[in-house]
Structure 1
Amino acid sequence: MAITASMVKELRDSTGAGMMDAKKALTETDGDMEAAVDWLRTKGLAKAAKKSGRTAAEGLVAVKVDGGRGVAVEVNSETDFVGKNADFQKMVAGIADVATGAADLDALKAADMNGKSVEQTVTDAVAVIGENMSVRRMAAIEGSTVVSYVHNAAAPGMGKIGVLVALDGGNEELGKQIAMHIAAVNPASLSEDDLDPAVVEKEKQVQIDIAKESGKPDAVIEKMIVGRMKKYMSEVTLVNQAFVVNPDVTVGQAAADAGATITGFVRLEVGEGIEVVKEDFAAEVAKAAKG
């Protein structure tokens, strides 16, 4: 497969590796971007493997708690300007209200909102506001205590990042602190039990390959892997992460000290995982002029 300059740039941007290292990684892996990231990590040449897609879409995430149930809804727009529009914000708040009684995203889109379905309400708003919009995601959580938090709030209960935390025991203040931690650190799962086994196995294999590069005996490598996987779990699982409020304890320990157990969480960030092709503005203008 031909390795293009744009492929090399993409790999450099996502890993911080040098140009020649990035090109070699792509050559060694026949242009497979994900495999190239792992190759660089194995060789110790990747500064950071960015695992999430680039955030490109705009809009708002709204959170709503009703008793022991909380919902988070992401409504996308084309520009950030629309996210600041009062009519758009009012619509998003209304969708979040409806979501408290919806089982899932499909049920939410079909649910009644002031005499029309949520989906039709959004379609009508597109015609008025002039931008494409969509209800992209909905997530719900239940628990004895459910606390919500919004980061970069554009209006009450909505912003760029919405978090819900479910607790058994504890109080609102603890829940808010944990929710703020989740917004900032973005854990992959609640605990080791909730992690995708395939993701864990892949990380373990990467660490084994890195350790083998050191040339140490297998017995030493086995001990190295145990330590490195423990560190990995402390980075990606909520209960094992160092608590941002008090880094001397883990989030799980902080909850236990307060007589609480974290039973679940939801974190939605606007545009998370959506990748938009970047246009060459000069080329676009030139093309339009020729037309």
Structure 2
Amino acid sequence: MAAITAGLVKELREKTGAGMMDCKSALTETNGDVEAAIDWLRKKGLAKAAKKAGRVAAEGLVAVESAGLHAAMVEINAETDFVARNPDFQTFVREAAKVALTCEGTLESLANTKFPGEDVTVAEKVSALVATIGENMALRRVAKLSVAHGVVATYVHGQVVEGQGRIGVLVALDSEGDVEKLTTLGRQIAMHVAALNPMALNESGIPEETVAREKAILLEKHQGKPAHVQDKIAESGIKSFMKENTLIEQPFVHDGSKSVGQVLKEAEAQVGAPVQLTGFVRFALGEGIEKEEADFAAEVAAAAGQG
């Protein structure tokens, strides 16, 4: 009997898209022969997902789940926006977000955790959905924020169903003040984050290479001017860049006369205690995924045998 190594299981999973335990069973049944294991999985109907694996999955849903001091968010992708309206897919996304709330906040921990009420992992549940719904799907990312006191507020923009949509935001407010008022404040800031998409919480969160690149662009634009003039222009430009891209410095979307930092400070009187914004996360569905531009008319013509 050949040894069924983790490497063999991984190779088979990559080739078929089947679940880890199914791959292990297939290799056991075929004495470690990967090609025979692929056939075994296909005969069982467990490798159907592999046919979909090459397709771009950039649609789907972003979902949030909250439990007061903790909140989690997941992005689960599919090929088309039709799937986002599929009740089975929505149920899966909602349950996956609940699982994320109990995990470590990493994609690996989410993927390997048992799916509620079933003897499969979340990752294996994805493969099963691919087979039944017929589109490639992917667990893309997960985030989790926690506070010692206060709230982690949530907001979903472009909701398809409650708590699921195209943009999701988590905002962590650490405070011993009034929880109801903190929740309202947190939601307002989360809406701001959804709208203005800050790069970081404050200046310390902006990578040095990003600042250096912005400075280089400013200096390039003003070549030929005296060095001291260039330095002043660059300094002023970087200040503007920070104001535009850090959450604390951005003009508050609900009241442009104040920065988010000023709004937080003023809110302390209403909340009844100091308020510290300790972190935020923003997921926009499909951001960063290269999408294939399809010519719909050409596809229809081809399907009709005209192309």
> Which of the five TM-score ranges fits, normalised by the shorter chain?
0.7 to 0.9
Q: For residues 267 and 296 of structure 2, what CA distance do their matches in structure 1 show?
A: 54
Instruction: Give me the identity figure in percent.
Output: 45
Question: Is the aligned partner of 1:148 residue 2:154?
Answer: yes
Q: Which has the higher contact order (CA 8 A, sep 6+)?
A: 1
Once the two structures are superposed, the pairs formed by residues 110-259 of structure 1 within 5 Å of their partners are: 110-113=112-115, 114=117, 115-143=119-147, 144=149, 145-169=151-175, 171-212=182-223, 215-259=224-268
Indicate the residue corresponding to 1:81 in structure 2.
Answer: 82
Asked if 1:271 is matched to 2:286, the reply is yes
Q: Distance in 1 between matches of 2:230 and 2:79?
A: 49
Query: What is the Cα deviation at residue 278 of structure 1?
Result: 1.9
* Residue 45 (structure 1) aligns with: none
1:95 aligns with 2:110: no
Q: Cα deviations across residues 158-207 of structure 1 (Å, max 9, x unaligned)?
A: 11001000012361111010000000000011111011111111111111
Deviates more, 1:217-226 or 1:172-181: 217-226
Q: Which is worse superposed, 217-226 or 70-79?
A: 217-226
Cα separation, 1, equivalents of 2:249 and 2:91 = 38
DSSP-derived class of the 1:96 partner: helix
- Partner of 1:235, secondary structure, is helix
TM-score between the two structures when normalised by the length of structure 1 = 0.76
Q: Distance in 1 between matches of 2:263 and 2:172?
A: 15
Aligned residues: 235
Greater CA radius of gyration, 1 or 2? Answer: 2
Q: Which amino acid aligns with 1:177?
A: Q
Please list every run of at least 4 consecutive aligned residues from structure 1 whose deviation after the TM superposition is greater than 3 angstroms: 279-291
Q: Give secondary structure in 1 for the equivalent of 2:265.
A: helix
After TM superposition, give the deviation of residue 149 of structure 1 in Å. 0.5
Map of 2:69 onto structure 1: 68
Q: Give, in angstroms, the shift of residue 286 of structure 1.
A: 6.0
* Mapped contact 2:155–2:169 kept (Cα < 8 A): yes
- Letter of the 1:88 counterpart: F
| Deviation digits for residues 117-166 of structure 1 (CA, Å, limit 9, x no counterpart) | 00111111111111111111001111232100100111111110010000
Distance across 2 between alignment mates of 1:282 and 1:72: 36
Question: Aligned pair 1:106/2:108, yes or no?
Answer: yes
TM-align CA RMSD: 2.1
Which amino acid is 1:194 matched to? G
Residues 47-88 of structure 1, C-alpha deviation per residue, up to 9 Å, x if partnerless? xxxxxxxx9810000111123111110010111011011111
Q: Where do 5+ consecutive residues of structure 2 fail to align?
A: 1-55, 269-274
